[in-house]
Amino acid sequence: MARRRGSKRTIEERALDEAASPHSQLWTCIMELWAWGVLSSPIVQKLAQAARRSGCSAHDIDTLAQLGASGAHEGNCHRDLLRAYAARCVTPALSPVTCPTKVRAPEGAATLDTQQAVLPASQWIRRVCEHGLDTALLGSDAERAIFWAAQKDSPRATGVGYYHVRDFCPEKTIPLLLFADGASHAEHDSIVSVSFRSLLAHQCDIAESMFLLAAMPKSATVKKETWRCLWQALVEDLNRLAHGLDHDGSALPLRAVVWVVSGDYEHMANEYGLPHWTSLACFWCSAPKEHFFAFADIPALTRSAEDMLDQDALDHPLKALTNYSPCMFAIDTLHCVDLGVAAHVYANVFHELTQEWPETKAASLSRLNKELRSHCVAVGSPAPPLLRYENFAPRSGEYPKLRHMKGAAIRRLAPAVQALAAAYGRGSAHRKRRARVAALLRAIYDSTSCRDLVMPAAKHAEFARVLTEFLEEYAKLATSCRGNGWHVVFKFHMLRHLDEQSKHLSPRFVWTYPGETFMSFMCQIASSCSRGTPGRLLGVKVLQKYRVAQHLMLSQQIPTRSRFPVDELDELED
């Protein structure tokens, strides 16, 4: 029976009528907050309804007020909102992927093939180019030419035929960073997402320049089978993108290749099958676990294909990339230095000073906080929150290490801890060496913050010298303490590889600060639409809301850089 057409029009018809006129500022603000997970769909309807009752006559607000049968059925608000606006989004459409998914059933958990989705990278490149944002978000032809000229001798390009064919065009090939990680969005669940960004977009807004490819909650994931299907779809699209082709075979104005795969070491080991540090010291060389502490005895640790572990054991769809190289897995300073080496160094400094001072335990802690804040003010860095003993003191059977602190907060401590260690660096050889280690770590931080795409030769040589001296001095401290502090962990070994990795690309361009910030956005979106949503449907909902968020940015309906930092660490250095 045909539907009777009367005075009431469908949500889709009302939304199409609104396309002829710009949206109101209130609509744009509400939709931005909804798309980024600040507001839920029922709250959007309630706000719009309140605005209409307060005298707002904007047509787009009227459409929002009528979501879910004007609020009578809150569970339909999300559906109605997508029906009204998703079809007009300029962002890529969801590409369906069938994969095994864990679902709840009356008799218990079951595994069923369900339809999930990805957002193809080739479509993101096309949409960005169509809106004239390719130079800002992907880099210019000149920047790409400079980048590839600096990578001729890079281990990532050695032996990879893709970079040596005749039709390889450096000016039109975008180097990409691929980031994957998981984070908790609910009390008993985590969202895992895969995203990418151009390595030449380091001065851009994180929310604009990083693009989501796939998302899936762990509660609906069937071991590695679910993500294997999603990864296969992503890799097929990335291979077409490497040759300048869209998902349907049409030509793109630019090409793009994955140059770096970055992320948390634990996640990379679990997802990509890289060796875990509990079995091998490092995925960059074949140093066995029992020898990872001997980093000071390894003079060169050169980085070449011969140094790599047997990568035939790597069973992951990424190996099917046209330009795959085992060297594309990067060591980043957030996990290696901030949450690794620096966390150990600074905790040892704090612990030893509180032990050396003659005051009581409480008075020593108060003195430490007072002097640390004083040095922060003197060097112009932000003062950290008041430290407690549980932030740095060794636990039973463990060694001193900073806990419950973000990587960026640890990085901020570098100049203040250097000054603090220097103030108590006289007297014994141990104190002098402790002050020297703090000063060398500050120099390492200065080098890893280099804003040049490729470190100048002189600066890289100085970085290599400082890094080697730091490891040697730390090894002497660890030996002299005889297990009472200054513990050596596998990240010290990996730090030694940072020298070779930084020769062709500055550490700033591969660190995971943007990726971790982006993950916080994904957690916020997932949390906003997880209420009453089965795990098997949550991933698609996250992709749908993210499409709307990027639509508002690409269509420039909201001011750029309105809510998100250009670079999380710019605030630390300005």
Same domain as 448, residue 345? yes
Same domain, 502 and 522: no
Residue corresponding to tokens 């750029």? 560
- Using the CB atoms, write b or e for 220-252: b if 16+ within 10 Å: bbbeeebbebbbebbbebbbbbbebbbbeeeeb
Claim to verify: residue 253 and residue 105 sit in the same structural domain: yes
**409 lies in a domain?**
yes
Domain stop point among 55, 73, 88: 88
Report DSSP state, residue 193. Answer: E
d(CA 180, CA 519): 9
115 and 84 within one domain: no
150 lies in some domain = yes
CA–CA separation, 163 vs 158, rounded Å?
9
Statement to judge: residues 128 and 267 lie in one domain: yes
Would the pTM of this model clear 0.85, i.e. be above it?
yes
532 Cβ contact list (under 8 Å, min separation 6):
75
- Rounded CA separation 329/332 (Å): 10
The answer to whether 329 touches 272, Cβ cutoff 8 Å, is yes
Which helix (DSSP H) or strand (DSSP E) does residue 301 occupy?
A: none
Q: How far apart are CA 275 and CA 255, in angstroms?
A: 31
Amino acid at 355: Q
Per-residue pLDDT of the chain (574 residues; tens, 9 = 90+): 343 344 444 555 445 444 444 788 899 999 999 999 999 999 999 999 999 999 998 989 999 999 999 888 988 898 999 888 888 889 999 999 999 999 887 777 788 999 999 999 999 999 999 988 899 899 999 999 999 999 988 888 877 888 877 788 999 999 999 999 999 998 889 999 999 999 998 667 888 899 999 999 999 999 889 999 999 999 999 999 999 999 888 999 999 999 999 998 888 888 888 877 776 667 777 666 655 555 444 433 333 444 554 555 578 999 999 999 888 898 889 999 999 999 999 999 999 999 999 999 999 999 999 999 999 999 888 888 899 999 999 887 788 999 999 999 999 999 999 999 999 998 889 999 999 999 999 999 999 999 898 999 999 999 999 998 998 899 888 888 876 788 888 888 888 888 888 989 999 999 999 999 999 999 999 999 888 888 899 999 999 999 999 999 888 766 544 344 444 444 333 3
Of 40, 59, 88, the one marking the end of a domain is 88
* Same domain (yes/no): 355, 439: yes
3-state SS, residue 211:
strand
Domain range holding 37?
Answer: 11-88
- Residue 377 · residue 392 · CB < 8 Å: no
Sheet architecture: strand order including 210-217? 210-217, 189-198, 173-186, 255-262
* Residue found under tokens 């070491």: 265
Question: 3-state class of 171 per DSSP?
Answer: helix
Same domain, 494 and 367: yes
Neighbour tally for 386: CB within 10 Å: 13
Report yes or no on 295 lying in a domain.
Answer: no
Assess contact for 191 and 509: CB atoms under 8 A.
no
Helices (H), 449-489: 457-481
Q: Could you tell me if residue 266 is inside a domain?
A: yes
- The DSSP secondary-structure symbol of 329 reads B
Alpha helices in 108-250 (DSSP H): 121-130, 134-138, 141-149, 206-209, 225-242
Task: Return the amino acid letter for 9.
Answer: R
Count how many domains the chain has. 3
- What's the longest Cα–Cα distance across the chain? 94
List alpha helices for 3-88, DSSP H: 11-18, 25-35, 41-53, 59-65, 67-70, 77-85
Q: Does 84 lie in the same domain as 63?
A: yes
**447 part of a folded domain:** yes
**Is 128 within a domain?**
yes
Residues 520, 431 share a domain: no
Whether residue 519 sits in one domain with residue 502: no
Give the relative orientation of helices 490-501 and 457-481 as an angle to the nearest 10 degrees: 170
Burial class (CB within 10 angstroms; exposed 0-12, middle 13-18, buried 19+) of 308? middle
Regarding whether 133 and 77 lie in a shared domain, the answer is no
With CA atoms as reference, report the closest residue to 526 among 184, 161, 292, 196: 184
Q: Pick the last residue of a domain from 491, 509, 527.
A: 509
Residue 419: inside a domain: yes
Sign, CA torsion 447/450/502/565: positive
Residues 102 and 113 in one domain: yes
CB 260 within 8 A of CB 197: no
Whether residue 17 is contained in a domain is answered as yes
